[in-house]
Structure 1
Amino acid sequence: MATTIPGLHHVTAISGPPQENVDFYTGTLGQRLVKKTVNFDAPDTYHLYYGDHAGSPGTILTFFPFVDAGPGRAGAGMASAYAYSVSKGRFDALMADLAARAIDFAGPVERFGQRVITLSDPDGAPVELVETDRAADTVLDGFHSVTLWERAPEATARVLTEVFGYEAAGEEAGADGSRRLRYVAPGNARGNVVDIYLSEKPAIGRPGAGTIHHVAFRARSDAEQAEWQKRLAAVGLPTTPVIDRQYFNAIYFREPGGVLFEIATDPPGFTADEPLETLGQALKLPEQHERLRGQIERILPELRVTT
């Protein structure tokens, strides 16, 4: 059985109009739209999944796009940023390419000895790109990390270290007086870094376009997920029952600082209902909504994917 969480499974965020979202993540960032489905709880809204070619755990960023979503704002008690990994051999070329395409970015700045640049997606969400030692065949090699904005780090850090098995990996102070604490899961899985960000500046978080809805960690099997469920209950953090999300099974809980955490299984994966070659091309509906396909297809706007 697992003794540690290996890293992130996916991150889910909220966006505005879906076409702008698709254009940025498939066009600007070169990600593959690996699944086009609907919000299981609100099937008149898309649920879009981006990742590497195979839709591997640790590469998946998902969105609930709402055409009329008001702008959100990150604050304490929310996940505030996700970061992709870029190998050292590709980082300078990536910056040159972004500049040649007139795509603005901030940085580079150094964070824990690694260069970081930050783009803004169409809703103003920060998209961080981190230079790492990972060898990769693609420019973006899945997630590097996620940042949690917390009021007090201690209880959240205990969940990461004493339950999930992460290790404290240092602290840095920002020029604005903020602090960043780093925690790393053993091994070299994608997305095995979690940063806790602390700031004295007043900022009241507001869900909406450009904010993160939840952060999902990996369980490599249903048995591992059941073990995490028991461990969390034992420390006073009971989870939801297991929920079938068609491409993974999920359990949810709020960590002590308020961020919604999920633990999602690797199987069955995104080829459960369509072949690898055509991932993301057809609208896929869960069985309970298939009878509404005609109605749903009339409501959802058509999406164009150009890569």
Structure 2
Amino acid sequence: MYNIPGHHHISMITKNASQNNHFYRHVLGLRRVKVTVNQDDPSMYHLFYGDKTGSPGTELSFFEIPPVGKTYRGTNAITKIGLLVPSIASLSYWKARFEQHGVKHSDMTTYAHRPAIHFEDSEGLRMVLLVSNGAKVWHWQTWEKSEVPAEHQIQGMGSVEMTVRRLDLLAAILTELFGYTEISRTEEEAIFQSIQGEVFGEIVVKYLDGPSEKPGRGSIHHLAIRVKNDSELAYWEQQLKQRGFPSSGIVDRYYFKSLYFRESNGILFEIATDGPGFTVDGEVEHLGEKLDLPPFLEGRRTEIEKNLKPIDEY
């Protein structure tokens, strides 16, 4: 049986690519590593932010949908993203930075047994900074041109929160299918790790009855978990089939290959390969500077660019 090495990326919905670009680059200090389009609907941007190269485990991605409405929060949804920072001193730095930039945030607190600060972007996407204590994504690389000092930069994704009506069903998928370890459990919450002791593959599952979330701007579309290569992806495709879970089948996204499936609460998971990565069509020093299209869309570049509103830099 293969192991899941951690999170790969997480994908959200934004109403405004320019505002989104400003917040994640100039407030959070992440690198915009890829400007591309939704391959299933090339009329919308797909933006990726992360470390220097957009390493697996560091990527936050956004689909721009200008007409999208507000999110009506509820259950059966991915509800929070943990982002790792190096130290308690980093939390102090970020608290002051959030105050400087007018970012909605909490006081210092704890989350999933770690020192933390909760915050939201301008569209209400809920996130939490977590002290990593050295547990950053193993291959994370400093972004030298970030507006955030290297000693306080976000070091990738940590705990991802999912809120569901049927906690035991999601727990079974994580532990029995994917081999996650359950490290704590109460009636209201369970915590799972893909690699025991490591936060960069951690999923926090909360129980909540009631209406399902209605997605909109600032909502989380899906979580992608990592596999190393094509053969591992094929293995997981077979495992899903054997357990009766319909999937998308393997899809070539050019920057990685992946498949999609929903567990019994309706949470959408993607399983994505580590490679070839975002440098397959660009040099490291120029990542994210222009619109990149996979080869099968390159012939439509003129049409695609005509339908995209330029991203304002401010």
How high is the TM-score relative to the length of structure 1?
Answer: 0.91
List per-residue Cα deviations over 1:51-104 (Å, max 9, x = no partner).
111110000111111122111233222111111011224222222332344433
**Partner Cα separation in structure 1 for residue 135 and residue 258 of structure 2:** 30
* Structure 1 letter corresponding to 2:172: R
Structure 2 match to 1:158: 172
Q: Conserved in 1, the CA contact under 8 Å of 2:13 and 2:220?
A: yes
Deviation at 1:190, TM superposition (A): 6.5
Q: Conserved in 2, the CA contact under 8 Å of 1:73 and 1:211?
A: no
Q: Conserved in 2, the CA contact under 8 Å of 1:148 and 1:194?
A: yes
Moved more, 73-82 or 157-166: 73-82
Q: Conserved in 2, the CA contact under 8 Å of 1:6 and 1:187?
A: no
Deviation at 1:46, TM superposition (A): 0.5
Partner secondary structure for residue 299 of structure 2:
helix
Deviation at 1:211, TM superposition (A): 0.8
Structure 1 residues 125-274: aligned runs within 5 Å: 125-134=125-134, 138=150, 139-171=153-185, 179-186=188-195, 191-200=200-209, 202-274=210-282
Do structure 1's residue 81 and structure 2's residue 80 form an aligned pair? yes
Structure 1 match to 2:111: 111
**Partner Cα separation in structure 1 for residue 225 and residue 169 of structure 2:** 18
* Structure 1 letter corresponding to 2:32: L
Structure 2 match to 1:176: none
Partner secondary structure for residue 296 of structure 2:
helix
**Partner Cα separation in structure 2 for residue 267 and residue 187 of structure 1:** 24
Partner secondary structure for residue 68 of structure 1:
coil
Aligned-residue CA RMSD in angstroms?
1.9
- Name stretches of at least 5 consecutive residues in structure 2 with no aligned partner: 137-141, 143-149
* Structure 2 letter corresponding to 1:195: V
- Name stretches of at least 5 consecutive residues in structure 1 with no aligned partner: 174-178
Partner secondary structure for residue 53 of structure 2:
coil
**Partner Cα separation in structure 1 for residue 174 and residue 186 of structure 2:** 18
Q: Conserved in 1, the CA contact under 8 Å of 2:77 and 2:212?
A: no
Q: Conserved in 2, the CA contact under 8 Å of 1:26 and 1:32?
A: yes
Report percent identity of matched pairs. 33
Q: Conserved in 2, the CA contact under 8 Å of 1:55 and 1:270?
A: yes
Structure 1 match to 2:293: 285
Q: Conserved in 2, the CA contact under 8 Å of 1:8 and 1:190?
A: no
**Partner Cα separation in structure 2 for residue 208 and residue 189 of structure 1:** 31
**Partner Cα separation in structure 2 for residue 170 and residue 280 of structure 1:** 39
* Structure 2 letter corresponding to 1:23: H
How high is the TM-score relative to the length of structure 2?
Answer: 0.89
**Partner Cα separation in structure 2 for residue 4 and residue 30 of structure 1:** 31
Partner secondary structure for residue 191 of structure 1:
helix
Q: Conserved in 1, the CA contact under 8 Å of 2:103 and 2:122?
A: no
Moved more, 7-16 or 185-194: 185-194
**Partner Cα separation in structure 1 for residue 238 and residue 73 of structure 2:** 31
**Partner Cα separation in structure 2 for residue 212 and residue 101 of structure 1:** 23
Partner secondary structure for residue 263 of structure 1:
strand
Structure 2 match to 1:11: 10
Q: Conserved in 2, the CA contact under 8 Å of 1:183 and 1:195?
A: yes
**Partner Cα separation in structure 2 for residue 31 and residue 16 of structure 1:** 19
Deviation at 1:281, TM superposition (A): 0.7
